[in-house]
Amino acid sequence: MNRLAKFSYLTAIYCFFYFPIIILIVYSFNNSTYSSLWHGFTLDWYKQLGDDTDLAVVALHSLEVSVLAATLATCIGTLAATCLYRYLFFGKKLLHGLMFVLIVSPDIVMGISLLILFFLIKMQLGFWSLLISHITFCIPFVAVTVYSRLTGLDKNIFEAARDLGASDFMSFRRIIIPMLWPAILAGWLLSFTLSLDDVIISFFVTGPDFQILPLYIYSLVRIGLKPELNALCSVMFAITLCIVVVFQLVLRNKEVE
């Protein structure tokens, strides 16, 4: 009985998590525009999705921003983690604190604060403002991921490299990057999904000329239900799922090492 109760509790929560998503995916194949009853299997919504040129542009924008933001944030974040780990410098504590604040501060406050900044420096809201914002909110996540891995390394390795005449840059290139690549990749993937799914910050820092996928979905959701949207959300879900699987495999590899 006790086992049964535990089992049903866990099952109930998993149903709560997955039921809406499964329903969404099922409806994306439903041959009816408004009904919540099953009217037969169709791929029409996916076809419409493929024919939607607006959507293609928006999706491409999103991909562009996410890949660039994740890559640049990974570079800066990795360097930041290395600096925090290896060097003593003025303002190090403040830098630590700033990273922490960036992670925990409400997204909406970050969004409006960047909006004020861009307004003040008279920067056109669009691709660049979006890219800068995404890089900024991804940096701390990369830094934390890489830093926690760095603290697990043997410090003697760096001493040895130094004794053998390696410069700091050399030890960064030959030791830190090869030994940390799983953490760096994990940081990249995390940044990529964060950037791809972000609604709140992007809402404030992008302009009408540069629409991205989450905001496009948001505007569609607000206008009303379109069956295409089910298909679109299913595709987005599938993409995220793939990334999480890769991420988990990377993490597992890390543990095996």
Partner 1 sequence: MKADRLFKWTNIATIWLWLSLFALLPIILVLITSCLENDPVHLVRWQFTLENYRALINPIYFKVFWHSFCIAGLCTLICLCLGFPFAYLLARMQSKYKSLLLFLVIIPFWTSSLIRTYAIISILKAKGLLNTVLLSLGIIHKPLSILYTPSAVIIGLVYSLLPFMILPLYANIEKLDIRFIDAARDLGANTITIFARVILPLTLSGIVGGIVLVFLPAMSMFYIPDILGGAKSLLVGNLIQNEFLSAHNWPLGSAVSMVLTISMGLLLLIYRRADKIGQQHESISEI
Identify residues 38-67 at the interface with partner 1 (CB under 8 A): none
Cβ pair 232, 171 in contact under 8 A? no
Site for partner 1 in 89-128 (CB under 8 A): 89, 91, 95, 98-99, 101-102, 104-110, 112-117, 119-120
**6 binds partner 1 per the rule CB under 8 A:** yes
30 forms bridges with which residues in the sheet? Answer: 41
Residues numbered 195 to 224 that lie near partner 1 (CB under 8 A) are: 196-197, 199-200, 203-204, 214, 217-218, 221-222
State which of residues 46, 127, 181, 237 lies at the interface with partner 1 (CB under 8 A): 237
Cβ 74 vs Cβ 191: under 8 Å: yes
| Smallest separation, CB 73 to partner 1 (Å) | 10
Out of 63, 68, 79, 175, name the contact with partner 1 by CB under 8 A: 79
Minimum CB separation from partner 1 for residue 53, in Å?
A: 22
x/- site string to partner 1, residues 170 to 189, per CB under 8 A?
A: --x-----------------
Q: Enumerate residues 6+ apart whose C-beta is below 8 A from 249.
A: none
Among the listed residues 83, 153, 175, 179, the single contact to partner 1 using CB under 8 A: 83
How far lies 128's CA from each of 61, 96, 108, 123, 204, in Å? 12, 26, 19, 9, 13
Pure H helices in the chain: 2-27, 44-51, 53-86, 92-104, 107-120, 127-150, 156-163, 168-171, 177-197, 200-205, 213-223, 227-256
Nearest CB to partner 1, comparing residues 129 and 183 = 129
